Amino acid sequence: MKDIRTRAVHVINEPQAEGSRPLSVPLVQSSAFAFDSAAELARAMAGPDGPYVYSRRGNPTVRALEHTLADLEGGQSAIAFASGMGAISGVLLALLRPGDQVIAQRCLYGGTYAALADLADRYSVEVRYISGDEVAEFESYVGPRTRLLLLETVANPTGRVPDLPGLLAAARRHGVIGAVDNSLASPVLCRPLELGADIVLHSTTKYLAGHSDVLGGAAVFADDALRRRIWPRTVELGAAADPFAAWLTLRGIATLPLRMREHCANAALLATRLEAHPAVTAVHWPWLPGGPSYAMARKVLSGGGGLLSFELAGGREAGQGFVEGVRLARLALSLGGVETLVTHPASTSHRELDERALELAGIGPGLVRMSVGIESPDDLWRDLEQALTGA
Ligand SMILES: Cc1ncc(COP(=O)(O)O)c(C=O)c1O
């Protein structure tokens, strides 16, 4: 198989323009497709593949993105969605029924956590949370009603990496579907299907698209049978990817390996400098030697990624002061784009948690999360240093 740097550039270019072969994937910005006969249209409506009918069910530009994502993750097929949450909700709603059980990592993205809480509250789905470090924890909960194991390659903002190979193997032994949200690592740093996952989930909004200009999500399947089972439910849900969003995402993917290299190199340098700074009491980045997930990160990732977090000695006030004091980095909630972003989780994404709950989630009052971009690391460090002094 060709290297991922080659595959990211030479995307599967399915749509054609009157026999010619454009270098860029054509944007088919059409909601519906015309037919000559009712019988032909009826045949086309039979399943997920075949001629395009209506873009909520399938579209040539979206299909090109789906083929590309499946190829990058080493899966048989994929479904692209309007957002990462569209992909996660679509998969959860398609696979779960009342009375089923989900086993999930405790430190999940907040939106996923809220979707699971809603499923538990309104649809009687039981959710059990595990740390992700011990297979025994999974074994203590798994039973005949367990349908799904839900993990994230790298937890946000703590940088913890669960025992992906151990947990996914245990899920397989028990006939439980293993799903991994790989948004933070991207297929450049980790391919969960190779570690035993059945489904890889993505917020393509993040590193895959990479330019903070488009929302998107995806589910990639090790076995196409699972896509065929899930597809009718996702068509009902209606969180289909828009062709232009798919086109922008494909455009971003061409430079994904290149960008990931810079994100990782910049994060490594900043993590080391932050560790040595007197205002900083702890730095969390998966590839930082001595960290709690360092051994697992070296085993399942090929780089530390661009997301790091650090704890300021001055607590909540210092954290807030820092994110308001940066001049080059921007205070914004997303991650994975070319520009550096910072947030203070205790006062924003996790503001509803009290001090005890924050501690359980591994989020100190002075914790700052940083999505390290691809700017010059020296310019970034100068900005961080002045903001650290101010905070
Ligand atoms: C790990 C992870 N998964 C899923 C999502 C949701 O993706 P989206 O915002 O594209 O719906 C996010 C968004 O921040 C995320 O960080």
Give mean pLDDT, residues 190-208.
Answer: 98
CA of 109 to the centre of ligand 1 (A): 7
Kindly give the number of the ligand 1 atom that is closest to the alpha carbon of 206. Answer: 10
**Residue bearing the bigger pLDDT, 106 or 144:** 144
Q: Is 77 helix (H, G, I), strand (E, B) or coil?
A: strand
Least confident of 212-226, 251-265, 286-300, 354-368: 354-368
Ligand 1, residues 205, 220, 333: which to mutate, most atoms within 8 A of Cβ?
A: 205
- Closest residue (by CA) to atom 9 of ligand 1? 84
Q: What percent of the chain has pLDDT over 70?
A: 98
Which pLDDT score is estimated for 355? 79
- Closest residue (by CA) to atom 12 of ligand 1? 203
Asked if residues 220 and 199 have their Cβ atoms less than 8 Å apart, the reply is yes
Q: Is 109 a catalytic residue?
A: yes
Give mean pLDDT, residues 146-167.
Answer: 96
Amino acid at 209: A
Q: Is 330 a catalytic residue?
A: no
Calpha distance 330→88 (Å, rounded): 28
- Going by the DSSP 8-state scheme, the letter that residue 193 receives in this structure is G
DSSP string, 143-163: -TTEEEEEEESS-TTT-----
pLDDT averaged over every residue in the chain: 95
Which pLDDT score is estimated for 250? 97
Least confident of 202-206, 314-318, 359-363: 359-363
- The pTM assigned to this predicted structure is 0.96
**Where does 4-253 sit in CATH, by number?**
3.40.640.10
CA of 164 to the centre of ligand 1 (A): 19
Q: Where exactly are the structural domains of the chain?
A: 4-253, 257-390
Which pLDDT score is estimated for 13? 65
Same fold, 4-253 and 257-390: no
Calpha distance 139→153 (Å, rounded): 20
Which pLDDT score is estimated for 207? 98
- Going by the DSSP 8-state scheme, the letter that residue 240 receives in this structure is B
Q: Angle, nearest 10°, between helix axes 84-95 and 110-123?
A: 30
Asked if residues 141 and 113 have their Cβ atoms less than 8 Å apart, the reply is no
Calpha distance 296→292 (Å, rounded): 9
CA of 141 to the centre of ligand 1 (A): 27
Is residue 151 scored above 70 in pLDDT?
Answer: yes
- Closest residue (by CA) to atom 16 of ligand 1? 109
Which pLDDT score is estimated for 20? 82
Pocket (CB within 6 angstroms of ligand 1): 83-85, 109, 111, 152, 156, 181, 183-184, 203, 205, 215, 217
Is residue 379 scored above 70 in pLDDT?
Answer: yes
Q: Is 343 helix (H, G, I), strand (E, B) or coil?
A: strand
Which pLDDT score is estimated for 14? 62
Q: Is 56 a catalytic residue?
A: yes
The active-site residue out of 5, 56, 228, 251 is: 56
Tens of pLDDT, residue by residue over 112-122, are 999 999 999 99
Asked if residues 73 and 252 have their Cβ atoms less than 8 Å apart, the reply is no
Which pLDDT score is estimated for 17? 66
Classify 21 in phi/psi space as left (phi over 0), alpha (psi -120 to 50) or beta: beta
Give mean pLDDT, residues 223-228.
Answer: 98
- Closest residue (by CA) to atom 10 of ligand 1? 84
Asked if residues 59 and 82 have their Cβ atoms less than 8 Å apart, the reply is no
Give mean pLDDT, residues 34-54.
Answer: 94
Which pLDDT score is estimated for 164? 98
Q: What percent of the chain has pLDDT over 90?
A: 86
**Does domain 257-390 match CATH 3.90.1150.10?**
yes
Kindly give the number of the ligand 1 atom that is closest to the alpha carbon of 87. Answer: 11
CA of 84 to the centre of ligand 1 (A): 5
Least confident of 68-77, 273-282, 361-370: 361-370
- Closest residue (by CA) to atom 6 of ligand 1? 84
The active-site residue out of 57, 206, 227, 369 is: 206
User: How many helices (H) and strands (E) are present in the chain, helices listed first?
Assistant: 15, 12
**Residue bearing the bigger pLDDT, 100 or 291:** 100
Give mean pLDDT, residues 12-29.
Answer: 80
Backbone angles phi, psi at 255, to 5 degrees: -105, 10
Nearest alpha-carbon partner for 223 in 77, 108, 22, 25: 77
- Closest residue (by CA) to atom 8 of ligand 1? 84
Kindly give the number of the ligand 1 atom that is closest to the alpha carbon of 334. Answer: 14
The active-site residue out of 52, 57, 71, 109 is: 109
Which pLDDT score is estimated for 133? 94
